[in-house]
Amino acid sequence: MDFYSVLKSILSLVAGVGVFLIACTMMSNNLESLGSKRLKSMFTKASNSKLLGVGVGTVATAVIQSSSATTVMTIGFVNAGIMTLAQAATVIFGANIGTTITGQLVALGLLGGGNISTSVIFATLAGIGAFIMLFTKKDSWQKIGGMLAGFGMIFVGLSIMSDSMEAFAQDESVKSFLAIFTNPFLLVFIGAILTGIIQSSSVMTSMAITMVVTGLISLNQGIYITMGANVGTCITAIIAGIASNRNAKRASMIHLIFNVSGVVLFLLIGLFMRLGGIDFGTIFDAMFPGAPQIQLAMFHTIFNVITVLIVLPLTNLLVKLVTKIIPDKKETLQLEKPHLCFVDDNMLATPPIAVLQTKNEILNMAKIAQENFNLSCKIIQTLDYSELEKFKANERELNYINKELVEYIVKLIKCELSEGDSNFLSGAIKTISDLERIGDYAENIIEYAENLSSAGMKFSDKAIKEIDELNRLIAELYHNVINAYENGDIAARDRAFVIEERVDEVTDQMGKNHISRLSEGLCKPEVGAQYLTLSGDVERIADHYINIVQTVGK
């Protein structure tokens, strides 16, 4: 090959890898958006059943087309306390099986002879998907078109890579140079390093399959490079675990130990087989004769399935091992600090899941805000401050969530989202502000209680009874608002509007009752001022809840 031919082949290879990566991202993002609710449902079902956890990891990765994304998302769930370490381990095991789907698709695309290959047939889906995206405005069809376009582009990238490697394969000097690399450990190392650089074991495996098919490397070389890709893919999870809590670090450690253990086991098996004069290449060539793409893809699948079958019964021991490697520390004070319970930066890798978790975080914030309102009413009625520290801790939590969750949403908005998710997040920022204001009004009520205590005064029994009624109405309003917001219950939304009108009526009546008590000498003006201001604050709390429920059904 002359210089220009080499340069052309290298540029074509880079272009093919680029198209392949973009296609995988495009397909997975649209698949995530279409199946986000099902994905979330699957992850919540990854309970104590080990096989179910493996199944969840397998299916999720097959959909997302990235074991790294599934693992990082799992680490995010562990970091947020949604998933236990044992549950996360089984999902991570399943992710390794799910990632082999890409290799099988690539092998399928490289099948066929004659004038039209399977790859060309699948590549036509890129055009079909593009036309769907061009001629439809409906969001769901846009996502279907994007998924088909991404799927087809995978084979476009694969075809470009294949053509560039065929050019290299025709040069005997290149083949002779690559033939030098026969040491299994060196090949595993090369596979791990290259995967770490491109951050995708799927791309590395696909490249290895293409190289084997074009005759650039032998099947045995491709097998060990693919094994190395399983180690290199751990880098993404390790990076995600570094910035997370102790349990999330353990999850990334489980991923590393699991993948390295499988590679070590198969390296040892390979060494013993070489003593008998055979190798993995010989075995898989005999199993699937004349189809090198199928041979390597099937090795990749069998390798991961066998590793999972061996390690799965040892899950609890593996959890104990990583707990000893990364031991617990005294974190009593750390646990008392405000924190986000449902979202984590690692979840940004899968935006639809991150959006669903953001909603859960908002619901948690609403629960804290309502709890503080209840506490404030109790304190001002009884002037008992035994739960004041709990109130202050809740207020710190609300302020923290208000700041951190908005910053998280800003990051999430920059990701590729469906129109529905984008609209939800736009409204979510306003909802967070409304909840923070509810907390502020509850804090005002505590100040009124302190003013009463300082002056040696308190509310009359009739005033306390009226506050009880107001507290009951706000509780009823809260439950309907949350039901509507969480489940899209339109009937609950409509009931919330009725209750809010009742709150307005009660607060108006409270003002009239106060004037009556003043004229009868049953209430002092100083106490009345605190009372009227309280009723006004509660009316505004109801308004903020109505602001939230108005986002339902839009």
Say if CB 265 and CB 309 are below 8 A apart: no
In terms of residues, how long is the chain?
554
The label of the residue with tokens 């989202």 reads 417
**CB-based burial label for 538 (10 Å; 0-12, 13-18, 19+):** buried
Rounded to whole angstroms, the Cα distance separating 437 from 545 reads 10
The label of the residue with tokens 């969001």 reads 139
Q: Which two tokens stand for residue 101?
A: 């789907």
Task: Report DSSP letters for 129-193, one per residue.
Answer: HHHHHHH---HHHHHHHHHHHHHHHHHHHHHHHHHHHHHHHT-HHHHHHHHT---HHHHHHHHHH
**Chain centre distance of CA 140:** 21
Element (H, E) at 507: helix 490-520
CB atoms within 10 A of CB 231: 22
Q: Which two tokens stand for residue 253?
A: 């450690």
Measuring CA to CA, which residue among 70, 145, 144 is closest to residue 100? 70
CB atoms within 10 A of CB 220: 23
Rounded to whole angstroms, the Cα distance separating 169 from 296 reads 18
Written as tens digits, the pLDDT of the chain (554 aa) is 567 777 887 888 888 888 877 887 787 677 766 665 566 566 656 555 778 888 888 887 877 666 777 777 777 777 766 678 888 899 899 988 988 888 888 888 777 554 445 667 778 888 999 999 888 888 778 888 988 898 888 888 877 877 777 777 676 777 677 778 889 999 999 999 988 887 778 788 888 888 898 888 899 999 999 999 989 888 877 876 776 678 778 888 998 999 999 999 999 999 999 888 888 989 999 999 988 889 999 999 999 999 999 999 999 999 999 999 988 765 443 445 788 888 878 778 778 778 888 998 999 999 999 999 999 999 999 999 999 999 999 999 999 999 999 999 999 998 877 778 888 999 999 999 999 999 999 999 999 999 888 888 888 888 889 899 999 999 999 999 999 998 889 999 999 999 999 999 998 888 787 777 666 666 666 666 778 889 999 999 999 999 999 988 65
Residue 239's SS3 state is helix
Q: Domains plus CATH for the chain?
A: 3-325 (no CATH), 347-549 (1.20.58.220)
Q: Which two tokens stand for residue 243?
A: 């910035």
Q: Which two tokens stand for residue 183?
A: 């040491």
Q: Is 116 left (phi over 0), alpha (psi -120 to 50) or beta?
A: beta
> What letter would DSSP give residue 84?
-
Rounded to whole angstroms, the Cα distance separating 92 from 46 reads 11
Rounded to whole angstroms, the Cα distance separating 47 from 310 reads 20
Residue 488's SS3 state is coil
Rounded to whole angstroms, the Cα distance separating 119 from 166 reads 15
Dmax over CA atoms of the chain, in Å, equals: 108
- How much is the pTM? 0.68
